[in-house]
Amino acid sequence: MIHPSLFLTSFLKLCVKIAGAFKFIFICFKNDFFIMTSHLETFGMVLIEAISYKLLVISSNSKGCRDVIKDGHNGILFKAGNAEDLTNKIIYLLDDYNLREKIFNNSQKDIKNYEWNRVSENYIKLYDELLN
Are the C-beta atoms of 13 and 87 separated by less than 8 Å? yes
Per DSSP bridges, beta strands 33-36 and 26-27 are antiparallel
For residues 108 and 113, what is the distance between their CA atoms, to the nearest angstrom? 10
For residues 9 and 7, what is the distance between their CA atoms, to the nearest angstrom? 6
Residue 28, phi then psi, degrees to nearest 5: -110, 130
What is the pTM for the complete model shown?
0.70
Q: Quote the pLDDT of residue 3.
A: 41
What residues does 57 pair with on adjacent strands?
A: 34
Within 10 angstroms of residue 100's Cβ, the number of other Cβ atoms is 16
Q: Quote the pLDDT of residue 15.
A: 55
Give, for all 132 residues of the chain, the pLDDT tens digit.
Answer: 444 444 445 555 555 544 444 333 444 444 588 888 887 777 788 899 899 989 999 999 998 899 999 999 999 999 998 988 998 998 898 889 999 999 999 999 999 988 888 888 888 898 889 888
SS3 33: strand
pLDDT per residue over 26-51, tens digit each? 444 445 888 888 877 777 888 998 99
Q: Quote the pLDDT of residue 24.
A: 36
Residue 29, phi then psi, degrees to nearest 5: -100, 110
- Residues ≥6 apart with Cβ < 8 Å to 14: none
